[in-house]
Amino acid sequence: MKTTALLLILTLAAGAAGAAVAPRTVLLESFTNISCDGCADANDVTAQYMADHGANEVINLQYHVNWPHPADPYYLVAPTDALGRAMTYFVASTPALKTDGGGTVTASYPQLDAAVQARRALTSPLRLDVTRTLNGLDLDAQVTVTAVGAVTAAQPVLRVALAEELDVQAVPPGSNGETDFHWIMRAMLPDHAGTPLSLSEGGSVTLPFSTVLDAAWAYTF
């Protein structure tokens, strides 16, 4: 089964807690590889957590990097974006998982839950509203970011990613036995660096994004 969904990521600089009134959806960023020892177990835990809690509470984005297997097919689709995000966090080994940009948790469900719930306890000063249209393989989206509270981050950055929800392989493509691949990063719009925002409380900005989907992906919206 293949399902491609538009996944939106809002990254704030450190110290962005501030006064805020919007519910928080926690972002889990996974760094993985088809031949990484431990990645299959770590990804299974994350997938189970996602299934148990749902996208209103937590979302996952998996970046496939080029180690230990340099020809990971998921890495080869968007290598610059995957390595750009890995370099942002100075990721040097896999598996690695960042919870709202901080803390590394891998294959422990209780530790992952503790990290997620700690972030869920905090509200957000920013709200995202999304509209999107799909015409054949042409995808157009508009993202409106509204500052519903005081924005204390020096420079908020909006990052938009296309993620494939699930790709199941009949035969493991790597050496770790993994066949079910979840929330694979396929592209970032416009790229991994994202779009800097200038917002103060009560303000909003609307940004357009367009891309052409790969015909090899199955997609639903």
What token pair was written down for 157?
Answer: 């950055």
Task: Establish if 72 belongs to a structural domain.
Answer: yes
Pairwise CA distance, residues 98 & 105, whole Å: 7
Element (H, E) at 88: helix 79-88
- DSSP per-residue codes, 187-215: EEES-TT-EE----TT-EEEEEEEEE--T
Pairwise CA distance, residues 125 & 53, whole Å: 23
Task: Establish if 16 belongs to a structural domain.
Answer: yes
Intra-chain end-to-end CA distance of the chain, in Å: 15
Residue 27 is predicted with a pLDDT of 94
Task: Establish if 221 belongs to a structural domain.
Answer: no
Q: Which amino acid belongs to residue 6?
A: L
Task: Establish if 217 belongs to a structural domain.
Answer: no
Task: Establish if 220 belongs to a structural domain.
Answer: no
What is the mean pLDDT, run by run of 10 residues, along the chain of 221 residues? 55 46 89 98 97 93 98 97 97 95 87 95 90 90 92 86 91 97 94 93 95 75 53
Q: What is the CATH number of the domain that holds 30?
A: 3.40.30
Task: Establish if 127 belongs to a structural domain.
Answer: yes
DSSP3 helix / strand / coil % (the chain, rounded to 5)? 20, 40, 40
Number of folded domains that form the chain: 1
Residue 15 is predicted with a pLDDT of 38
Task: Establish if 65 belongs to a structural domain.
Answer: yes
pTM across the whole model:
0.91
Task: Establish if 219 belongs to a structural domain.
Answer: no
Pairwise CA distance, residues 42 & 85, whole Å: 19
Give per-residue pLDDT as tens, 96-119: 999 999 877 889 999 999 999 999
Is residue 112 within 8 Å of residue 201, measured between CB atoms? no
Q: Is 142 helix (H, G, I), strand (E, B) or coil?
A: strand
Residue 2 is predicted with a pLDDT of 58
The boundaries of the domain holding residue 36 are: 2-212
